């Protein structure tokens, strides 16, 4: 996802509030910025203040606090993870949901601190599993010896299949992660 291109910043808004604030920051930035806006979020409604505001790059948002597992979810997948968190609460599993908001710069400290607390990591991204952002998040955690020693299970990635996204809606749904995939990964890291 272009994360390895030096000097290029990448924003990944998940809410209407985020898109305005991140785009305002992008306009003021002297570097090139790519905005990956998920097409399914285009019709989303939400609170967007009339007044001027910006959202700093490189600051993840903890959308839901939890104690058992850290779930880093990108763009539309953040909303899916939030829905799953409600279901998993019924099973006694407390999910912390982190929305990175930007991929470059990446707020590594917020993610690492969360994983250090929970001891578990699930990364949810619609991109293909091979060489995607989810792999970078996972590597970031396991390469940090302090965090690695605190892991209670292997990190899991919930990603799209390594195929071109089909135009057929049923096939598209098959190729992309869904709530059931997220639940399965969370249950797996909890065992």
pLDDT reported for residue 185: 99
pLDDT reported for residue 73: 99
Condensed to tens digits (0 to 9), the pLDDT of residues 50-102 reads 999 999 999 999 999 999 999 999 999 999 999 999 999 999 999 999 999 99
Q: What are phi and psi of 139, to 5 degrees?
A: -60, -40
pLDDT reported for residue 42: 81
9-11: strand order across its sheet = 33-35, 9-11, 102-104
The class level of CATH for 61-190 reads alpha beta
Q: Write b or e for each residue in 97-107: b if 16 or more Cβ atoms lie within 10 A of its Cβ, otherwise e.
A: bbbbbbbbebb
Under DSSP, the state recorded for 131 is T
Share of the chain above pLDDT 70, in %: 99
The pTM of the full predicted model, rounded to 2 decimals, is: 0.95
Q: Would you place residue 43 in the very low, low, confident or very high pLDDT band (cuts 50, 70, 90)?
A: confident
83/185 Cα distance (integer angstroms): 15
Token pair 């019709």: residue: 43
Condensed to tens digits (0 to 9), the pLDDT of residues 2-25 reads 899 999 999 999 999 999 999 999
Checking if the pLDDT of 1 tops 80, the result is no
Average pLDDT, the chain: 96
Condensed to tens digits (0 to 9), the pLDDT of residues 93-141 reads 999 999 999 999 999 999 999 999 999 999 999 999 999 999 999 999 9
């Amino acid at each position: 996802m272009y994360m390895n291109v030096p000097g290029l910043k990448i924003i990944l808004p998940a809410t209407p509030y985020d898109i305005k604030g991140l785009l305002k920051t992008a306009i003021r930035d002297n570097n090139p910025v790519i905005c990956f806006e998920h097409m399914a979020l285009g019709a989303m409604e939400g609170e967007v203040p009339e007044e001027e505001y910006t959202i700093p790059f490189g600051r993840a948002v903890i959308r839901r606090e939890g104690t058992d597992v850290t779930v880093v979810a990108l763009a539309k997948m953040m909303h899916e993870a939030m829905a799953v968190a409600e279901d998993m609460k019924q099973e006694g599993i407390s999910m912390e949901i982190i929305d990175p908001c930007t991929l470059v710069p990446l707020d590594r400290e917020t993610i690492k601190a969360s994983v250090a607390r929970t001891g578990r990591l699930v990364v949810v991204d619609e991109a293909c599993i091979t060489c995607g952002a989810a792999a970078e998040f996972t590597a970031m955690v396991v390469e940090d010896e302090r965090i690695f020693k605190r892991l209670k299970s292997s990190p899991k990635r919930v990603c799209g299949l390594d195929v071109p996204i089909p135009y057929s809606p049923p096939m598209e749904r098959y190729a992309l992660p869904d709530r059931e995939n997220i639940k399965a990964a969370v249950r797996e890291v909890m065992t």
